[in-house]
Amino acid sequence: MSWRLTQIWRHPIKGIGAERLDHVGLKVDRPLPMDRAWAVLEEGGEAGEGWRPCRNFIRGAKGPSLMAITARVEGDTIHLAHPDRPDIAIEPGTEGAAGALLAWLRPIYPEDRRPAAALVRAPDMGMSDAPFASVSILNEASLRALSQKIGQPLDPRRFRGNLWLDGLAPWEEFDLVGKRLRIGDAEFDIVEPIGRCRATEANPETGRRDAATLAALEDGWGHTEFGVYAMVRKGGRVATGDAAALT
């Protein structure tokens, strides 16, 4: 058994922008630093404090063009880019940042969807789709299997995962549920599979739906799950190339 960490990603604003990292420091019971640290509430969404379900926010399942946004964090500033929009840099929580972001998003979000209404800060647990401080772990072999099933290479950004492993068999990540995994200096409890939505159908280069990922998963393997949610149980540094193994 030889497993390796091949990719690290974070998503500073839920559903909006992906940033690739070479390494990251993790803390117990926390997501990746600046992963889903902010979210854009849609009009009519729950405006309370703390974690809220994904139905309250704008995201790629509702507006596939969002999937083409890339992000880069520099201090307190988030830089965003999209093929159909000028680059923008915002410092969330400061005056004017929310208004600038919402105006920037308007032309690339469907008019028949409830519009973006506010930029909200996530709690310490982050604002992933899971109601706990999650880190998502995905399997390169499963991505290759799904790509083969669909007949085209699938960009890993479709799945908005945090940590990608190679060396496992396809779908072997589901066998890790209930077990403890070590990657680099950190350790994780693997909690549950991740159910997927239509965001994965959109190409992160174009923001257009071009792959029936959910139908392919159902037809090929009888489910629409991809990757697993984990929780950090021992903090530490992880970097691409690190070995991964059960403890």
The string of DSSP letters for 18-59 reads BEEESEEEE-TT--STTSS-EEEEETT----SS---GGGB--
Do 24 and 141 lie in a common domain?
yes
Residues of the domain holding 111:
38-121
Confidence of residue 149 (pLDDT cuts 50, 70, 90): very high
Is residue 14 a part of any domain in this protein?
no
Q: What's the number of domains the chain is made of?
A: 2
Is a pLDDT exceeding 80 seen at residue 29?
Answer: yes
Do 52 and 114 lie in a common domain?
yes
Do 115 and 219 lie in a common domain?
no
Do 170 and 90 lie in a common domain?
no
Do 134 and 213 lie in a common domain?
yes
Average pLDDT value for residue range 60-66: 98
Helix (H, G, I), strand (E, B) or coil at 240: coil
Average pLDDT value for residue range 87-91: 98
What single letter denotes the amino acid at residue 36?
R
Mean pLDDT of the chain: 97
Structure tokens at 32: 């990746």
Is residue 15 a part of any domain in this protein?
no
Would you tell me the crossing angle of helices 213-221 and 140-150 to the nearest 10 degrees?
100
Is a pLDDT exceeding 70 seen at residue 1?
Answer: no
**Contacts for 53 with CB less than 8 Å, ≥ 6 apart:** 129, 131
**Contacts for 209 with CB less than 8 Å, ≥ 6 apart:** 64, 198, 201, 202, 203
C-alpha span between 229 and 216 (Å, rounded): 21
- State the CATH number of the domain containing residue 200: 2.40.33.20
Give the domain-ending residue among 57, 91, 121. 121
Is residue 93 a part of any domain in this protein?
yes
| H-only helix segments in the chain | 97-105, 140-150, 213-221
Do 235 and 151 lie in a common domain?
yes
Give the domain-ending residue among 121, 151, 181. 121
Give the domain-ending residue among 121, 143, 165. 121
Do 106 and 167 lie in a common domain?
no
What percent of the chain has pLDDT above 90?
98
Is residue 86 a part of any domain in this protein?
yes
Do 166 and 73 lie in a common domain?
no
pLDDT of residue 53: 97
